Structure 1
Amino acid sequence: MFPIRDHNPSGRTPYVTYGLIALNVVIFAAYWPLFANERALNLFFYDWAMIPAKVTQLGDFTGLLTSMFLHGGVLHLAGNMLFLWIFGDNMEDRMGHLPYLAFYLATGVAAGLAHILGSPGSMVPTVGASGAIAGVMGGYLLLFPRARVDILLFFLVFFRIIPIPAAIMLVLWFALQVVAGLGSDPDMGGVAYWAHAGGFVAGLALTLPVFLRLGGPRFWRETHGSPPHPAPDYRFRPSSIPTVRKRR
């Protein structure tokens, strides 16, 4: 189950979201050559990734910020940027450009702190924007629970795109992070599930003032939890251009 787009257009150009995507891509491209040298890459991540033990034992908090602009591979980067592109523009539309940027960075730091709480002595470097993006998803759940999200379903060789309410997709995603986090050992590396869960909860909490400013439950009643702008229609339609047949 993989989201590919939502039916929730923005009312303004999401300059910050575009800028964050561009910055992540440029930074990744800058250290891409290091992937050919494992030792150099490990040294780079030691300096700039988020390592829980460096925070708890050395008081080095730099990685909490820098790690959210680093990624462990092309697919890691592409997946995170897709999620940011789907959900980020609407949060920026509601919050405004600079408040949204502050929100994004704050949820990224909160996600890192949640990961540290789960494994304070770990020396495993943690990288990725997914904690901050999880915060964006948490805020999206609060403001647009009934926005439709197109999900790409895979089953063996069968696949299909189906639209579902954002609330279903986001709640299921959060539940999977919690369940996976309970069954994982953060000291062994892998996916930072508690960072995802922590960022999501932080996003909900930091979006609450915006939700209340919009009217709280009254906002839900007025919008029915749906996007404020007319949703785009992605259905395929036959072309209106007439077919020109060849003469024999």
Structure 2
Amino acid sequence: MTPRARQAIESAEIIVGYDTYLDLIQDLLAGKVTIGTGMMQEVDRCQAAVEQAMTGKQVAVISSGDPGVYGMAGLVLELVGKYPAAVQPEVCVIPGISAVGAAASILGAPLMHDFAVISLSDLLTPWEVIEKRVEMAAAGDFVIAIYNPKSTRRTSQIETVREITLRHRSSDTPVGIVHHATRSKENMTLSTLDRFTKEHIDMFSLVIIGNSQTYIADGKMVTPRGYRL
């Protein structure tokens, strides 16, 4: 959490968010009205936030990581845009620390060159589209960061990612897996492209697959930028 994000939460009268995320900031919620919903109720809670803001309340909609990276910023702006300009509440998107940025710092410096960020969740994006994006990123030798890599329902998609990427880069390509980045249960694992799916991976994991130049040195995953040394 950035200091600016913390300040926004502290100054808000109403805090809106996914129940799990509200639980993570209980120490900041004393004396505040909270509106929480479960998974798949994103539209409902953002609509409630907009309606509260239109009454003049100071409202904070929280996301994990950065609200503009698979977060709620876009949805809030879409909902506000449905109202006449004269009554639209002001929206300020406050950046946080994205999971991909946090995970990269824990692993070392794997994102020093061009990279692609892809979510394997097919709730809002057809799997065929996701699969094509993985293929293109692998063919283009991008470092690939994977959000939502595996759940109790989705177990085979990460294996498909491994198979696709193996068609374009060597089996010993470094892969980093970070669980609970920047949280109390944080841990990381370094593996290789041919073996990484044997490691523990879940919805609290972020996977970073190196490109053809990525290497491991002293326990750190590094993708060279290309500077002359």
Q: Report TM bin, short chain.
A: under 0.3
More helix by share: 1
> Could you say which structure has the greater relative contact order, defined with CA pairs below 8 angstroms and 6 or more residues apart?
1
Query: TM-score, normalised on structure 2?
Result: 0.28
More strand by share: 2
